[in-house]
Structure 1
Amino acid sequence: MRSTWPLYLLFFVVAGLIGATISYAFLTESLTALGIPDPGFVTTYGLPFFRAVGWMLAALAVGSFMFAAFYISPRVPEGDNDRLIKAPLSVDGHLASRTGAVSALCFGLVALLMIPLVLSDVSGTPFVQTLRPDAFGVALEQVATAQAWGVVAAIALVTGIVGLFLRNWASQPLLMLGAILMIVPLAMEGHSASGGDHDYGTNSYLWHLVFMVVWVGGLMALVAHGRRLGPDLDVALRRYSAVALFSIIVMAVSGLVNAGIRIEFSDWFTTRYGLIIVAKTVGVIVLGVFGWLHRAWTIPKVQANPHDRRLFRRVAIGEVLVMAAVTGVAITMGRTPPPPPRDPNLSPMAVQIGYELTEEPTFLNVWTMWRFDLLFGTIALLLAAGYLYAVWRARRAGRDWATSRTVWWLLGCASLVLTMSSGIGLNMPASYSMHMLGHMILSMVVPLFLVFGAPLTLLMTAFKSGPPGRPGIRDWAYAFTQSRLLRIISNPVVNLVQFLFFFYVMYLIIPLYELMISEHAGHMIMNAIFLVSGYFYFWEVVGPDPIPHRRPTPVRLAVLFVSMPVHLFLGVYLMQLNTVMGQEFYESLFLPWNPDLLVDQKEGGGIAWAFGSFPLAIVFARLALDWRREDKAETKVYDDKVARGEDDEFESYNQMLARMNAGGEQRDDYYNKEFGK
């Protein structure tokens, strides 16, 4: 087994040198466009170099945790995949997880270094002068890019430190999620987050970055697994190939969408910025085809001779080097000024939310407006496609699946697309009443429909358990139902508190609400919280998925009774509040119909008061029916036991009555003899 860190360093250096060299070549044009003095060689060369290295580190962290979680089988007790949740990592899994943790820590340190580098870059100040504590504070207070790197550093350092101490399989999916979250703040800044259509630009950039690190990081982790002579390389190859193919498709589509938003097609071949986009796109597509063909050819050879991996390593290492080069090219886009925007005279509304609103929203016209939401709309379509694929697999295997559950799931997906892409989603950033209507649907309608679809049960129905000791999709889903995390979340008190907390906190803390609505990232975070919080709430209360330690129906009814008046109280509170939340932001939009903001806010309170009771009433009816069915089932089981004479308490009661009856007859004989009766 040979160490892979020298190869990692080679990948990092290639990406950093290419990104820094190309960026440095464009230095004069960039500084002229930005109108700032030259901050010096350390910044102009170091910033793109460490940015490229940082992306490679983030990719390695994601790929390593992904391998430890899903590609490298842990030491399942006695080979029983149903006990996966208790499995420690294997030696290979431990090495992959440690690599992910160290990579996350290094990425966090690079993120801290980027804060003074960014300040030096945007201000034209030499790098050494930005290392002063007061300059560091200025960067975090006033420079958006530096703030993003600060958040990245916090998430990365926490993920890395926690990852160093966790050695069980159950923690690896969570660490992978933490590694992905590290890069999310960086998708919220840069060229994509400014100008017209920046909602499309930011969302497409987020898709692009997430799947870039999955693709690049997964291949680096695969190379490391092959060099370690780790077991089940054929399984890892097969699983990674499917993920890589999907990642390449997402990267190509999202990259083209992002480029099409920012520059005209004619500029693709006549400007430096356009040529970088073309080179990057061609590189991604060629690499994707080459990689897929390589793995399709390699998998049979590895299966035929698991011990001869030299050919795989040679080709895979070359592929990663080209990936590193493409990453370096992509980094230069952040240092190259794009061509002038299509519309240089954007309105304040287009600058703030990315598009124009010309009509006041009404009950009818919100359904005639349309702007597809690239984030939540795409997620909904992917969820629908994945669910239908699983249903197809289940029925192909001869297993039954209720059509009603499929209908519920598709209703949830359709509701998400319609809410976020119609006039409701379009007006959520600009109108408090539309924001509250969207909030109600995202937290109380879409999750309820999705919960009734029982997705975990479907996964455990559609997929078979993997070979002993080599868990698959069905085993991962079952392990989640047995996890300590689920036990905590499904605790009635915890579940109720999280649901009400996220429902209230952004409205009772007015400065927080104003901060969230003023940024596209804030809208995305709020909508994601509404969906996830609502899903966990309804999943525990009425979900048909198997949840161990689920509380009896009367307890869940009590949870519902507690939450209903709280929702009503929020609506009343908002209807009586005379302080306009987010007034400065809403006024900065200059909406053409000049709404009365206080009236609009009170209408939002009325929506919260009236709307929230309908889904909760449906849940109450469902729980009441469940209680009645459970009571009938218990009564039938009890009657059957009595009929078979298997109920000890019932038999003891009958014997007691018999003794009492016998004693009564003896007393009657005594009285008859004594008193002549």
Structure 2
Amino acid sequence: MNTAGQGITVSRWSLLLAVFTLILGVGTAWQLALPDSPDPSNLLRATADCVGAVVLGLAAVDRLHGSSKARVDRAELWRAIAALGGVWALSELALLVYSAAAAGGYGVGQLHADEFAEFVSHISTGQVGIATVLCASGIALAGIVAFRRRAEWSTDPLLAVAGLTLVLRQITGHMSQQTFGSVLAAVHVLAAALWFGLLAALAIMLRSRSDWAAALPRYSTWALRSVVVLTVTGVINAAVRLKGFAPLLDSGYGRIVLAKAIVLLLILILAWWWRRTWVDQVAGHRMNADDSLRRAVVEVVAITVAFGLAAALATTA
């Protein structure tokens, strides 16, 4: 942890506060969806989406630096990819097992191996699920091997695999039934993942004032583009599903969409303010690393509320 400057230092473990805000987002969605019953898979889905986005962000860090000489510590990067890739794979596996049990109409403890094999072999949801588990596991394994070998490999292949893994479930969901629905869903998910995941990755990896000065201004540009894409595709997706303004209040899906829009608006106001202050100060080397980390943690934790709400949309009629 960087201790440059004065004041209370911030640990990167503070990012774990996102666990609580993720639960808050999912819980809020459950309340808004009443009288529909809460779906436990929402929390698993939200966890997998968040962790997957951070893995995508870690794999994109080199792209953020571009041709500059500034590079993050490779061993730390591979270790983070290996650890979070493993968490991602376990989250996807838990979601797959739950989905298999739910498809059979019984609890996870009653699921038999042959029924699980049937689900992942012949049911499209299971096939997509096992593909995401294998891809996330492959990313974790690559991270382990690269860490042990202290490799200087490019992370571009992992970036591609992480992006594909994140959109697999989305492009086979309800939006796939609409014209260009799969494309819109994929672009929406990748924009959200890049905005959130890359900032989380910077909070994990950057250690010094100069590191933040090199990375944050460029991240800000990427984030702005991601938010524009996220907003446009989100509005289109919602309009296709809701087909009017009345369902925004009359349906559980509409109420969750409205709540997500409000949360995102508040986050965007914060991001706009920090783009005018935080980014300028960092670029001018006028802010220490600890203060930058604190702001990054606040924004990451806030965005996970929206991720929790978004995950619940997938199972809300």
State whether TM-score is above 0.5.
Answer: yes
Percent identity between the two aligned chains? 23
Structure-2 residue corresponding to 1:105: 86
Q: Which amino acid aligns with 1:113?
A: A
Structure-1 residue corresponding to 2:121: 141
3-state DSSP of counterpart to 1:265 = coil
CA distance in 1, matches of 2:117, 2:31: 27
CA distance in 2, matches of 1:306, 1:221: 22
Structure-2 residue corresponding to 1:178: 161
Structure-2 residue corresponding to 1:157: 137
Q: Is the 8 A contact 1:192 1:202 kept in 2?
A: yes
For residue 27 of structure 1, report the CA deviation from its aligned partner. 6.8
The one of 39, 43, 58 aligned to 1:49: 43
Structure-1 residue corresponding to 2:13: 6
CA distance in 2, matches of 1:322, 1:55: 15
Structure-2 residue corresponding to 1:125: 106
Structure-2 residue corresponding to 1:531: none
Q: Find out whether 1:260 has 2:239 as its counterpart.
A: yes
Q: Is the 8 A contact 1:23 1:332 kept in 2?
A: yes
Q: How does 1:426-505 map to 2 (within 5 A)?
A: none
For residue 29 of structure 1, report the CA deviation from its aligned partner. 2.3
CA distance in 2, matches of 1:122, 1:27: 22
For residue 203 of structure 1, report the CA deviation from its aligned partner. 1.5
For residue 155 of structure 1, report the CA deviation from its aligned partner. 1.1
Q: Which has the higher contact order (CA 8 A, sep 6+)?
A: 2
The one of 55, 66, 76 aligned to 1:61: 55
CA distance in 1, matches of 2:22, 2:37: 20
Change (3 A) 1:124 1:52: same
Q: How does 1:551-630 map to 2 (within 5 A)?
A: none
Q: Is the 8 A contact 2:52 2:166 kept in 1?
A: yes
For residue 17 of structure 1, report the CA deviation from its aligned partner. 4.7
Q: Is the 8 A contact 1:115 1:136 kept in 2?
A: no
TM-score normalised per structure 1 = 0.42
Change (3 A) 1:69 1:246: closer
Change (3 A) 1:90 1:330: closer
Structure-2 residue corresponding to 1:242: 221
For residue 68 of structure 1, report the CA deviation from its aligned partner. 3.8
Deviations 1:40-71 (A, max 9, x none): xxxx43x2111111111101101111114433
Q: How does 1:86-485 map to 2 (within 5 A)?
A: 90-91=72-73, 93-130=74-111, 132-166=112-146, 167-194=150-177, 198-226=178-206, 228-229=207-208, 231-266=210-245, 267-305=247-285, 308-337=288-317
Q: Which amino acid aligns with 2:277?
A: W
Q: Is the 8 A contact 1:61 1:179 kept in 2?
A: yes
Change (3 A) 1:50 1:17: farther
Q: Is the 8 A contact 2:33 2:253 kept in 1?
A: no
3-state DSSP of counterpart to 2:106 = coil
Change (3 A) 1:189 1:94: same
For residue 326 of structure 1, report the CA deviation from its aligned partner. 0.8
Q: CA RMSD in A?
A: 2.7
Q: Is the 8 A contact 2:249 2:255 kept in 1?
A: yes
CA distance in 2, matches of 1:215, 1:129: 39
Structure-1 residue corresponding to 2:26: 19
3-state DSSP of counterpart to 2:179 = helix
Change (3 A) 1:314 1:8: closer
CA distance in 2, matches of 1:17, 1:23: 10
Q: Is the 8 A contact 1:15 1:325 kept in 2?
A: yes
For residue 240 of structure 1, report the CA deviation from its aligned partner. 0.5
CA distance in 1, matches of 2:65, 2:211: 8
Deviations 1:59-88 (A, max 9, x none): 110111111443388879xxxxxxxxxxxx
CA distance in 2, matches of 1:314, 1:233: 12
Change (3 A) 1:162 1:52: same
**Structure 1, unaligned runs of 5 or more:** 32-43, 77-88, 338-677
For residue 307 of structure 1, report the CA deviation from its aligned partner. 6.2
Structure-1 residue corresponding to 2:5: none
Q: Which amino acid aligns with 1:185?
A: L
Q: Find out whether 1:70 has 2:53 as its counterpart.
A: no
CA distance in 2, matches of 1:319, 1:274: 25
3-state DSSP of counterpart to 1:219 = helix
CA distance in 2, matches of 1:169, 1:75: 14
Q: Is the 8 A contact 2:52 2:162 kept in 1?
A: yes
Deviations 1:186-228 (A, max 9, x none): 112222224xxx23222111111111111110111122244x3
Q: Is the 8 A contact 2:33 2:255 kept in 1?
A: no
CA distance in 2, matches of 1:247, 1:97: 25
Deviations 1:273-299 (A, max 9, x none): 112112222332432342133033112
Q: Which amino acid aligns with 1:238?
A: P
For residue 315 of structure 1, report the CA deviation from its aligned partner. 2.6
